[in-house]
A and B are shown apart, each in its own frame.
Chain A
Amino acid sequence: METYKADVVIIGGGGAGLRAAIAVAELDPSLRIALVSKVYPMRSHTVAAEGGSAGVKLPTDKLDYHFNDTVAGGDWLCEQDVVEYFVAQCPVELTQMEHWGCPWSRTPDGHVNVRAFGGMKIERTWFAADKTGFHMLHTLFQTSIKYPSIKRFDEHFCVDLVVADGRVQGAVTIEIASGELTLIEARAAVIATGGAGRVFRENTNGGVVTGDGMALAYRHGVPLRDMEFVQYHPTCMPGTGLLFTEACRGEGGFLVNKDGYRYLQDYGLGPAEPTPRNKAMELGPRDRLSQAFWYEQQKGRTIDGPHGSVVHLDLRHLGEAKLRERLPQIYELAEQFLGVDPALAPIPVRPAVHYTMGGIMVDGLCASPLPGLYAAGECSSVGIHGANRLGSNSLSELCVFGKRAGEEAANFAKSVPPGHSAELLKQAQAVEQRVLGMVKKTGGNERIATLRKEMAQTMEDGCGIYRLADTMQKTCDKLDELKQRFKNVHIEDKSSVWNTEWLLAIELEYQLDVAQAMAYSALNRRESRGAHQRLDGFEARDDVNFLKHSQAHYVADGAPRIDYGPVKITKSQPGTRAYGAAGEKAEQERNASHV
């Protein structure tokens, strides 16, 4: 097995991983950085983010407004000190992206333009048409090429971390093109592997979004925090789950039911007005909009389609010219995948799983409880999203916390001596034996695709938009069963070069661990908050018992152990989460009481 000696290893080459790599390189050019990604970095799922990235921009906006929107949007399950740091850094980091060449859309006088987004009081979402994630990812990837200290391990699949003397000291990877394993020695590691939405059936995520980094940290004893909070995006393509950005509604799109009625006004989001009003109607937060869809479906007011019930996203009144300028990708997706011209006909949509609010537990410095291990981006739970993420906060998160994780990891690396290579290699060789054993093994009879499909279905059944104890319990039981059956998995492909079946099996094992953390955390949270909504006697938020973070701890060959940690409240006491006219009234009352 080959060994590569780095100072900092970064696992994941999407937005957060690239930003972390650049941060290490800028902090100290003498540090050797290994940037590991199972795909070429520009394939990472950051690429698919559409609508934009939040940061205070207009003179009428304030950091406090962004803070309040984020904390209330997260149903007060946010680390408020971390949110405060986040909102202050967003404009700085987005300006940095501008300096690096990101093609932000502009106002006529040349300033970066901003658009409205769900749950945001003032327009503060920076955008590059409707391909913001694509442009940010390519800007970061291309900029990273400037730094000679970043050594990329493209199409290298991480199979384990190496932990010695109580701290992370490296990672073991498979080179996909050869099937050969490498030990990357490092004095600190950053995990930036993205979310885990593929554990659900209908989702907006790319095939790579399999929770690898979450599972890696989890298996080494790092808790996964707030995993029950999984975001359903309200406007997705039926069947495939592909995303129609929230910017469709930010630009003025309507959501209507089978009667052409803007049904959101029936769910505390009204009044319905002809033009968008921030934090009302179609610009409400995602959890509320997905929940409203569910109720419309119960009432029989949705439209039947080949892939289940849908409502209509109506963009016709915006006109073709504006749609082509502001939403070109959406226009093409509707035309090519659905045969719908959005200037002439409404787009059928339904909610699909989009984002994992929870993840690897880290503090505000992106440090996990395991010394030397840092995490940033969707794989992490740094505490800014709480129980429901606001759209456009996650792209900013990649920059703000990617940078922070990189700098903190760099400083940690400089503070500790290199490890004992022989000991690390011995560990890596044991990992090699284990993963090669999966391919060599014969006699298995479980098909990967079958297990994956059953997992995704049971997650949808038990951990969907609304949840019940008995179906969640069934999901937990089913996942336990699937983990047992996985031991019997059959890999037909015995070759070394590009054995993607082998990698799919390893990914599936990661997914099963992450899915278990989600399902057990959900079952144990006996209240409703943000994206976790129950219909079995726990319909209300319960701040007395559950204003706290869930923490799932890995138990080998068993169910996760769930315990809870405190939530950091600084300046925003938990209040009623209200939107539309009710939200404005509540805000006026809050302001009056503060005078």
Chain B
Amino acid sequence: MSDIQKVIEIEVLRYNPETDKAPSSQVFEVPFTDDMSVLQGVQYIKDYLDGSLSFRWSCRMAICGSCGMMINGVPHLSCETFLRDYYPARVRVEALNHFPIERDLVINMEGFINKLESIQPYIIPKEPRTLAQGEYLQTPEQLNLYEQFSSCINCMLCYAACPQFGLNPDFIGPAATALLHRYNVDSRDGGKEERMDLVRSEEGVFHCTAVGYCSEVCPKHVDPANAVNQNKTNAAVDYFLRFVSPKGGAK
């Protein structure tokens, strides 16, 4: 530990809908140590400099998904992004891109939640089983098919990174598609057909222009771009199969 207290400037985009017409920046000087995260810097501001600063956070360990922010223009979880990596320059924090700001660093996530709910994110059993019959068998290989897509923490960094979501807020987007894919490829699930209507719809996967920035910013290696593109292929196959199969292509 250094004897001299280092101080970093944190520039925060502030917005209070009750008093402000538009967001504006405010700079705070924050003493820090090398192990302090950006989140801890923002918490310092709230605790000691300005109690009115609003932001979401909880677990501090990159699993609850609350604390996503734009940090120097890049979507990050603020709890696992460190001030030392920006010092001695100023670090700028803002609410996640592409979402309405409710206040300061807090975005409105209702649209995202609606998307999550719309994809039927639960097992629709292929072969119903009673508890007395015990567990479904699922090999490690079958688990591997979906495990990565089940690791999404709903932090929405991928939406803040997605240029298409920025243009069209109705686009189902990376995380919700990854979750849809997660259930579709689960060996216990038989609900793919019901979910594919959404994939093929106006708001479905064809909006994606394969920029891939969503996967780059994902803190949990979910690789939503991969899920989106697998579903483009699925939806395209379905499109052609529907001409030859009386029930439509999805199975």
**B138 near A101 (CB under 8 angstroms)?**
no
Segment 135-155 of B: residues with Cβ below 8 Å from A: 135-140, 142-143, 146-147, 150-151, 153-154
Whether A43 and B64, one on each chain, are in contact in the complex, defined by CB atoms closer than 8 angstroms, is: yes
Counting residue pairs across A and B whose Cβ atoms lie within 8 Å, the total is 160
Interface size on B, residues (CB 8 A): 63
Judge if B65 is at the interface, Cβ distance under 8 Å: yes
A39 x B58 contact (CB < 8 A): yes
Please tell me if A164 contacts chain B, counting CB pairs below 8 Å. no
Q: Which of B19, B62, B66, B140 meets A43, CB within 8 Å?
A: B66
Q: How far apart are the CA atoms of A242 and B40 in the complex, in Å?
A: 14
**Interface membership of B94, Cβ < 8 A:** no
Residues of B within 8 A of A484 (CB): none
Which residues on the B side are within 8 Å of A40 (C-beta)?
109, 113, 154
A141-172: CB near B (< 8 Å → 1, else 0) gives 01101100000001000000000000000000
Whether the pair B123, A497 counts as a contact (CB closer than 8 A) is: no
Contact (Cβ within 8 A) B131 A207: no
User: Cβ of A401 < 8 Å from any Cβ of B?
Assistant: no
A242 and B103 form a contact (CB under 8 A): no
A365 in the interface, Cβ–Cβ < 8 Å?
no
B19 touches A495 (CB 8 A): yes
A484-510 contact mask (Cβ, 8 Å, vs B): 1 or 0: 000000011101111111000000000
B140 contacts which chain A residues (CB < 8 A)?
A: 105-108
Contacts A45-B59, A306-B1 given; indicate if A106 touches B121 (C-beta within 8 A).
no
Q: Given that A101-B183, A131-B151, A498-B54 are contacting pairs, would A95 and B134 also be in contact in the complex, using a CB cutoff of 8 Å?
A: yes
Given A109-B139, A111-B137 in contact, is the A208-B58 Cβ separation under 8 Å? yes
Interface positions of B from 14 to 73, Cβ below 8 Å from A: 16-19, 33, 35, 46-48, 50-52, 54-66
A101 touches B123 (CB 8 A): yes
State whether the Cβ of A42 lies closer than 8 Å to any Cβ in chain B. Answer: yes
Q: Which residue of A lies closest to B139 (CB)?
A: A110
A48 at the interface (CB under 8 A from B): yes
- Give chain B nearest CB distance to A152 CB in angstroms: 9
A92, A134, A498: the one within 8 Å of B104 (CB): A498
Which residue from B50, B103, B129 sits with its C-beta under 8 Å from A99? B129
A48 touches B123 (CB 8 A): no
Q: Is the CB of B80 within 8 A of A337?
A: yes
With most chain A CB atoms within 10 A of its CB, the pick from B46, B52, B80, B146 is B52
Q: Is the CB of B123 within 8 A of A100?
A: yes
CB pair A112 B63 closer than 8 Å: no
Do residues B80 and A240 form an inter-chain contact, with CB atoms below 8 A?
A: no
In the complex, which residues of chain A have a beta carbon less than 8 angstroms from the beta carbon of B57?
207
Contact count band on A: 35 or more
Pick from B58, B150, B154: contact of A103, CB under 8 Å: B150
Contact with B along A234-249 (1 / 0, CB 8 A): 0000011011000000
Output the least CB separation between B129 and chain A (Å): 6
B189 interface hit (Cβ, 8 Å): yes
**B214 CB-CB contact with A under 8 Å:** no
Decide: B58 and A207 in contact? CB cutoff 8 A: yes
Chain A: CB-nearest residue to B147? A103
Cβ-defined contact, B52 with A492, below 8 A: yes
CA distance A337 to B58 in the complex (A): 16
Once bound together, how far apart are the Cα atoms of A449 and B44, in whole Å?
A: 9
Let me know if B223 is at the binding interface, CB within 8 A.
no
8 closest Cβ pairs, A-B complex: A110-B137, A449-B47, A206-B58, A493-B52, A498-B103, A142-B121, A492-B51, A101-B123
Report A's interface with B, CB cutoff 8 A: 39-40, 42-45, 47-48, 92, 95-96, 98-101, 103-112, 131, 134-135, 138, 142-143, 145-146, 154, 177, 206-208, 239-240, 242-243, 306, 329, 332-333, 336-337, 447-449, 491-493, 495-501
Interface residues of B (CB under 8 A from A): 1, 16-19, 33, 35, 46-48, 50-52, 54-66, 80, 102-104, 106, 108-109, 113, 116-117, 120-123, 125, 129, 131, 134-140, 142-143, 146-147, 150-151, 153-154, 179, 183, 186, 188-189
14 A-B pairs whose Cβ atoms sit less than 8 Å apart in the complex: A40-B113, A42-B65, A48-B63, A96-B131, A99-B129, A101-B186, A142-B122, A143-B122, A145-B122, A240-B60, A243-B61, A496-B18, A497-B16, A501-B46
